[in-house]
């Protein structure tokens, strides 16, 4: 379990992030067209999992915008923006913002994602949503970088994540 804060107040998340060097857990999430996507859909690509509580918050929206911009210049890399928001909200947000370089995914059919990746918030007002984290998975399915943001209302370390991609 990770000890985090939300606006300075303690909260916890389920488990811990996958260890660097470990095989990434399997996942099956829902795209904006309601189809499902998992690792096989991105075979041979590096994955940046941008995980966050909700698109309807300024920090989460900022992270999606930031990675959308960065993704345009990343070779052999797909950025997955993952939250508990419904696919319709993901679609609306990306259309309104003109975001085309990220893949938006919802965990609404897959609560095990948060447990398996150690990001489900288990206490506090955001209980049931996902904590803010970045997980990078290499083209062979191995975790190469992780960051769980300890204060949920802060942005992730974009520079460190992008440097981890080389």
- Kindly state the tokens that stand for 160: 């460190």
What residues contact 6, with CB distance under 8 A and at least 6 apart? 121, 124, 125, 126, 151, 152, 153
pTM, whole model, 2 decimals? Answer: 0.91
| CATH code for position 107 | 3.40.30.10
Number of structural domains (the chain) is: 1
Residue range(s) defining the domain that contains residue 78: 2-152
Q: What is the pLDDT of residues 21-72, one digit of tens each?
A: 999 999 999 999 999 999 999 999 999 999 999 877 766 567 767 776 676 6
- What is the average per-residue pLDDT within 125-140? 95
Q: What is the pLDDT of residues 60-102, one digit of tens each?
A: 567 767 776 676 678 899 989 999 999 998 788 877 777 777 7
Residues catalogued as catalytic? 60
Helix axes 87-97, 58-71, angle to 10 degrees: 60
The pLDDT, as a whole number, for residue 67 is 72
């Amino acid at each position: 379990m990770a000890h985090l804060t939300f606006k300075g107040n303690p909260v916890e998340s389920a488990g811990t992030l996958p260890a660097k060097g470990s095989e990434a857990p399997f996942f099956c999430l829902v795209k904006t067209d309601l189809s499902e996507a998992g690792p096989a859909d991105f075979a041979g690509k590096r994955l940046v999992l941008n995980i966050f509580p909700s698109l309807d918050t300024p920090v989460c929206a900022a992270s999606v915008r930031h990675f959308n911009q960065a993704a345009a210049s990343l070779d052999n890399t797909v950025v997955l923006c993952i939250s508990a928001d419904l696919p319709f909200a993901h679609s609306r947000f990306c259309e309104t913002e003109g975001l085309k370089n990220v893949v938006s995914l919802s965990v609404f059919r897959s609560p095990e994602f948060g447990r398996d990746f150690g990001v489900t918030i288990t206490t506090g007002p955001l209980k049931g949503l996902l904590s803010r984290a970045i997980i990078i998975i290499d083209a062979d399915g191995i975790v190469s970088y992780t960051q769980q943001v300890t204060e949920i209302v802060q942005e992730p370390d974009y520079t460190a994540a992008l440097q981890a991609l080389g």
